[in-house]
């Protein structure tokens, strides 16, 4: 059974970077296509990017291009999402999620709260 | 980008009611649509994929229909555990996009 366990809450100052981790168990990371979704307080879900297995590349939402980097460490089955140049609007819960069955996100991490405040 | 529009934004209903939530895509997404349920402080939970396929373990009172640009999520008989926020999501093409959400509250 696949589980995604994310790193703990972070508090960052504007302009800093944050790196959130997502540890996979029950599968190896190479068997999965990891995506990242965020949710600002009281707001909806926003896809940030993820791995496209058809192209073998990571695709980023245009809104985050140049500020986000998604990486993987296959030796530890851990995925990472790093967001730089943080601003207050980046305060949100960040989720990793993966489609096991194909397409829709059937497995989600528990979420990581990132607070950006001076 | 494909825009996903849900209606209504808020829905008040009672236990036992039959409710329907609609999701419209700004262009055809075939059947590449999912529905999620989210409760406060929790990650979203997949209910329906490929427009009408019920995720394993999800009660049969949930059903999905539609194709192209118009989709619906129906709950046949609301249970107390169903009061939550529901999101549609298209995964036909990148960027993946979500609807703005429908909050289902107790009348």
**pLDDT tens per residue across span A15-61:** 999 999 999 999 999 999 999 999 999 999 999 999 999 999 999 99
Res. B16 pLDDT band, cuts 50 70 90: very high
Nearest CA to CA, how far is B46 from chain A (Å)?
A: 5
Q: How many CB atoms lie within 10 A of CB B11?
A: 18
Closest-approach residue (CA) in chain B for A52: B94
φ/ψ of residue B68, rounded to 5: 80, -100
What is the structure's pLDDT at B80?
96
- Helix, coil or strand: residue A56: coil
Measured CA to CA, the distance from residue B35 to residue B90 in angstroms comes to 9
Asked whether B3 and B25 are in contact (CB, 8 A), the reply is: yes
Reading the block at residue A95, the tokens are 């989720």
- Facing residue for A105 by CB, picked from B46, B97, B99: B46
Closest-approach residue (CA) in chain A for B92: A103
Whole-number mean pLDDT of chain B?
97
What is the structure's pLDDT at B85?
98
What is the structure's pLDDT at A70?
98
- Facing residue for B87 by CB, picked from A45, A106, A108: A45
Pairing of strands B19-25, B33-38: unpaired
- In terms of Cβ atoms closer than 10 Å to its own Cβ (0-12, 13-18, 19+), residue B10 is exposed
Mean pLDDT of A70-86: 98
What is the structure's pLDDT at A44?
98
Exposure on the CB side of residue A14, measured as CA atoms within 13 A: 5
Q: For B26-67, write each residue's pLDDT tens digit.
A: 999 999 999 999 999 999 999 999 999 999 999 999 999 999
- Asked if B43 and A62 come within 8 Å (Cβ–Cβ), the reply is no
What is the structure's pLDDT at A31?
93
Nearest CA to CA, how far is B11 from chain A (Å)?
A: 16
Measured CA to CA, the distance from residue A58 to residue A100 in angstroms comes to 17
Nearest CA to CA, how far is B56 from chain A (Å)?
A: 10
Partners of residue A99 in chain B, C-beta under 8 Å: 91
Q: For A97-106, write each residue's pLDDT tens digit.
A: 999 977 899 9
DSSP H/E element including B18: none
């Amino acid at each position: 059974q696949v589980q995604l366990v994310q790193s703990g809450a972070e508090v960052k100052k504007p302009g800093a970077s944050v790196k959130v981790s997502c540890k996979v168990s029950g599968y190896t990371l190479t068997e999965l296509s990891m995506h990242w979704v965020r949710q600002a307080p009281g707001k909806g879900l926003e896809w940030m990017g993820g791995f496209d297995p058809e192209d073998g590349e990571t695709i980023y939402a245009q809104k985050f291009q140049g500020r986000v980097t998604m990486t993987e460490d296959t030796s530890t089955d851990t995925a990472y999402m790093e967001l730089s140049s943080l601003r207050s609007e980046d305060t949100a819960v960040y989720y990793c999620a993966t489609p096991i069955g194909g397409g829709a996100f059937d497995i989600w991490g528990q979420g990581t709260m990132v607070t950006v405040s001076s | 980008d494909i825009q996903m529009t849900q209606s209504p934004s808020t829905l008040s209903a009672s236990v036992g009611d039959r409710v329907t939530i609609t999701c419209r895509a700004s262009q055809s997404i075939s059947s590449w649509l999912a529905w999620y349920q989210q409760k406060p402080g929790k990650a979203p939970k997949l209910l329906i994929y490929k427009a009408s396929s019920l995720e394993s373990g999800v009660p049969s009172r949930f059903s999905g229909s539609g194709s192209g640009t118009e989709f619906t999520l129906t709950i046949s008989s609301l249970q107390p555990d169903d009061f939550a926020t529901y999101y549609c999501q298209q995964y036909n093409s990148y960027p993946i996009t979500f609807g703005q959400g429908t909050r289902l509250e107790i009348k």
